[in-house]
Structure 1
Amino acid sequence: MTVIQPKLTPKQKALAINLDQTIYGTFAEIGAGQETVRHFFRAGGASQTIAKAMSAYDKDFSDAIYGKEAKNRYVTQNRLRKMLRYEVSLIEERVSRATCPGRKFFSYANTVTTINFDKTMKGHGWVGLRFQCHEADDYNEIVLHVKFNENDATLQQETLGSLGVNLIYGAFNYADNPRRMINSLLDDISKDNIEIDMIDFSGPAFSYVDNRLMSLQLVKNGMTDAVIFNSEGNNMLPADILYKKNIFAVRGSFRPVTLVNIDMFEKGLEMFKKDWGCSQEETEVLFEITIANLRAAGDIDERDFLDRVDVLGKLGYTVIISNFSEYYRLIDYFAPYTNGKIGVAMGVNNMLDVFDENYYENLSGGILEAFGKFFRKGMRVYLYPYKDPETQQLLTANNLKVNDSLKELYKYFKHNKRIVDIQNFNPDYSEIYSRIILDKIANHIPGWEKEVPEGVADLIKERGMFGYKEELKLKEFS
């Protein structure tokens, strides 16, 4: 029988670190007081753990220590990493390894801004740790971005303090199990109080870690609604890439990416830029996969997840993983970041889901509340036609049949060009279906290679993706 160990409180975790005589380091906290280090002072036995605790609160003083920041932005990932590395260099410079054998050095830092007086800015920040697993090892880093949800600065400071303790304790106790470490970050913290929307592991202890999988854990565990990573697989802060941008999104399973997906994206984006006069530089394109889609066959298959994003990455696309089953939640997620235009490319079947009232039973305002968030000003749907395999009828915005009670509402959105058909689509792709391609891949039925973008088939075969079995692969060449 598995025995579930009780979770330690921040005080208990701080005490456990203090009592470990091999752990020694510094705390540098900017913007919300010394909320993390106070746990270690209060727990007792801190004299063997804390080399220094500081709060370089004044910008001029902070600049004198860590250097100036571009555009005078201090709550940034770059600032945090500067702090971590500078403080570690001081420990190495000022503490002799000869007189302190066996010690694992660390530097904890955060740079945050809590909720403002008018409560118009909720507050956010960067939190990180640079540490050794053993005294002779190179340093590892864990960096994360947080958004505060509480409406009181003092409460946000307390939450930050607990998070810092959890990070330090987790690093020294769960470095060999990053998933457990991520789960422990919110010990003694309500998920309603804080959101972690980016995390990055680096260093020798995490050489095997794929940060895309760590991002997936954040969404899977309900610690954030969405995570984004670029075509190189690097975690991206949503605010950094979406801020004041026009956004064009394509949702799909991408299992695998087909010529239909690319045709929908390219033709839809072309219309979007023409409709709103958007340049490529002003527009962020996102390929979205939902957690619900990843769970379609049961538990999330991480290999399958990586297969999908690897193919999208090879094609040069940025990926967003979300828990937004309903489209209106995706648009609502974008809204705080930008006042720009938003476009969504989707197929006819997805549009029918949008106009299905059953999806909105959890909303007090029902489908009208959802539509208010979805069809907001500056948002437009680009609809890709669908050829019914049984009737051979091509379904478009003009002949799409929605529920009788929503006919007039549908006509309204179509009349006002909130829903438009994608023009110049390639009719040769109308009979490409991803589920059939998957079956062909798994059973080595030829022909599917011509139904996916150039280079994708080679990648699938090379890596054995989407059920492409190696033993069958060998038979093809025997």
Structure 2
Amino acid sequence: MPTNLIGDQDFNTTPTIKNKALRVNLNESIYGTFAEIGAGQETVRNFFRAGGASGTIAKTLSAYDKEFSDAIYGLEPQGRYVTEARLKSMLSTETRLIEERLKRDKHPDKLFFSYANTVATIDFAKKYKGHGWLGIKFQAHPKQEYSEILLHIQFHQNSAVHQQITLGKLGVNLIYEAFYNHDNPKQLLKNLYDHINDDDIEIDTINFTGPLFEKVDNRLMSLQLVKNGMTEAVMFAPDGNNVLPASVLYKKNILTLRGSFRPVTRVNMSMYEKSLELFLNERKVDREKAVVIFEITLSNLKAEGEINEKDFLDRADLLGSLGQTVMISNFQEYYKVVEYFSQHTKERMGLTMGVNTFIDIFDEKYYRHLSGGILEAFGKLFFKSLKIYLYPLKDPDTGEITTSENLQVHPRMRELYQYFKDNGRVVDITDFDPEILDIYSREIHQMIVEGRSGWEDMLPETTTAMIKEKNLFRS
């Protein structure tokens, strides 16, 4: 028996939005509902216009009024409607209704689906560009449990009308790809941008769930978003599910550690623990609203050529086991990280880094693309009293410890460095163990790959145990 009733698709050519909608309409098996809130019924409009929609559309609605929406989908505890929770409620309710009202014995070959979106387009003052959640809950076989694809978008267009048109195209792409390309999630992801300008929208979160996607690791899908240029940064929680960066960062005090974490060493954990203690003791930091982000850059993942997905997942597993939220970004310079965070919070932020990394940020070559050069970059870097928590460096030959007091920057940068230091923007981590300063993750990784011993005590106990148990960092 075939695994689905949909048929194969020739991806040598890209069908138009109209042809995609028409192909879905003409498929006698596909049947479902459309629920769209906040930006018109832009997706279903394409199916009506394509023709043959009566064979596909069981119901379409747009519950704009909040009281109507609450009556249908339930109350939202926080009174917010453009949320993942609202989208899930919409999909669950519509799926339940279609199952209740269309009996299986009368429709044995139907592949039911529910498509939904909840969106806020650009405001009249054009202060907020707008964003939205959209998703589909669907079957690839009548007897199969439902699978889901949920995603979040940020609009970059300056017209509500253009945003509505883009949303309609994206909705058609999502429905079409769910039915005709669910067995190739990476290609599905790319095809969501069919007939949409790359600069029009940003997809910053996506999650695949259900029987069709049992083998899909959402962290890899998150990685694809950055790799494909669909967004600059993504996040996933310790449980491996992708999370919306805006939800994690909104009005939070943020402490960030950038690294390879290949693997997580005792030095990494010492940097984290000691800097977090200093950060939480800052007068303007609310402990209840503080978050820690472990950041890995795309260039770091490509350090040895193409991205090794297993290597990436090994790092992610280790950080997840330590309860950390991970961000994958395409930000080369630190000021871009701060600039990104400042879109979501005005609260105090901190960066944790080692002496070598800190000296690097004073290298002017990284800022030649900026009209204001290094001064422009530092103006963004030290946004809103940001502080850098500096972990010391030990010279392997002399044993000398380098801190903010004796580090050397280029002569042209000395006054700039001294200015930030004198204003308390650079804080030394003094409570450190000098015995672990000789630990380097690159050397440990090489030892693990070569099957040598002696690295075990250089890592947190849980990390060592996990590497051995799951045979991490070995092909």
Fold shared per TM-score above 0.5? yes
The 5-angstrom pairing of residues 208-227 of structure 1 reads: 208-227=215-234
Letter in 2 for 1:305: F
Instruction: State the 1:378 CA deviation.
Output: 2.5
Instruction: State the 1:277 CA deviation.
Output: 5.2
Question: Among 172, 181, 205, which residue is 2:179 paired with?
Answer: 172
Q: Secondary structure at the match of 2:315?
A: helix
Q: Secondary structure at the match of 2:299?
A: helix
> Residue by residue, what CA displacement relative to the aligned partner does 1:275-320 show, whole Å, maximum 9, x if unpaired?
2353432200111111110000011001000100111111111111
Paired position in structure 1 for 2:311: 304
Instruction: State the 1:393 CA deviation.
Output: 2.8
Contact 2:37-2:64 within 8 A present in 1 as well: yes
Paired position in structure 2 for 1:455: 462
TM-score (norm 2): 0.96
Residues in 1 aligned to 2:319 and 2:218: alpha-carbon distance in whole angstroms: 16
The 5-angstrom pairing of residues 362-441 of structure 1 reads: 362-441=369-448
Residues in 2 aligned to 1:388 and 1:158: alpha-carbon distance in whole angstroms: 59
Residues in 2 aligned to 1:188 and 1:419: alpha-carbon distance in whole angstroms: 48
Letter in 2 for 1:407: R
Letter in 2 for 1:55: S
Where in structure 2 are there 5+ consecutive unaligned residues? 1-9
The 5-angstrom pairing of residues 229-240 of structure 1 reads: 229-240=236-247
Residues in 2 aligned to 1:20 and 1:193: alpha-carbon distance in whole angstroms: 30
Question: Among 27, 31, 56, which residue is 1:24 paired with?
Answer: 31
Where in structure 1 are there 5+ consecutive unaligned residues? 470-478
Question: Among 256, 262, 282, which residue is 1:275 paired with?
Answer: 282
> Residue by residue, what CA displacement relative to the aligned partner does 1:327-370 show, whole Å, maximum 9, x if unpaired?
11110110011111100000111112211111112222221211
Instruction: State the identity %.
Output: 58
Contact 1:287-1:319 within 8 A present in 2 as well: yes
TM-score (norm 1): 0.95
Residues in 2 aligned to 1:400 and 1:4: alpha-carbon distance in whole angstroms: 57
Residues in 1 aligned to 2:462 and 2:413: alpha-carbon distance in whole angstroms: 43
Residues in 1 aligned to 2:211 and 2:94: alpha-carbon distance in whole angstroms: 20
Residues in 2 aligned to 1:456 and 1:98: alpha-carbon distance in whole angstroms: 53
CA RMSD in angstroms, aligned pairs only: 1.4
Paired position in structure 2 for 1:228: 235
Paired position in structure 1 for 2:102: 95
User: Which range moves more in the overlay, 420-429 or 27-36?
Assistant: 420-429
Letter in 2 for 1:386: L
Residues in 1 aligned to 2:126 and 2:219: alpha-carbon distance in whole angstroms: 33
Paired position in structure 1 for 2:204: 197
Q: Secondary structure at the match of 2:383?
A: coil
Instruction: State the 1:97 CA deviation.
Output: 2.6
Contact 1:276-1:341 within 8 A present in 2 as well: no
The 5-angstrom pairing of residues 16-55 of structure 1 reads: 16-55=23-62
Instruction: State the 1:422 CA deviation.
Output: 1.1
Residues in 2 aligned to 1:340 and 1:86: alpha-carbon distance in whole angstroms: 38
Instruction: State the 1:187 CA deviation.
Output: 1.0
Q: Secondary structure at the match of 1:336?
A: coil
Contact 2:284-2:348 within 8 A present in 1 as well: no
Residues in 1 aligned to 2:284 and 2:384: alpha-carbon distance in whole angstroms: 16
Q: Secondary structure at the match of 2:246?
A: helix
Matched, 1:328 2:328: no
Instruction: State the 1:391 CA deviation.
Output: 4.2
The 5-angstrom pairing of residues 307-318 of structure 1 reads: 307-318=314-325
Paired position in structure 2 for 1:472: none
Residues in 1 aligned to 2:473 and 2:73: alpha-carbon distance in whole angstroms: 48
Q: Secondary structure at the match of 1:70?
A: coil
Paired position in structure 2 for 1:347: 354
The 5-angstrom pairing of residues 233-248 of structure 1 reads: 233-248=240-255
Instruction: State the 1:442 CA deviation.
Output: 2.1
Paired position in structure 1 for 2:5: none
> Residue by residue, what CA displacement relative to the aligned partner does 1:47-68 show, whole Å, maximum 9, x if unpaired?
1011111111111111121121
Paired position in structure 2 for 1:473: none
> Residue by residue, what CA displacement relative to the aligned partner does 1:244-299 show, whole Å, maximum 9, x if unpaired?
11000101000000011011111111111112353432200111111110000011
Q: Secondary structure at the match of 1:71?
A: coil
Q: Secondary structure at the match of 2:473?
A: coil
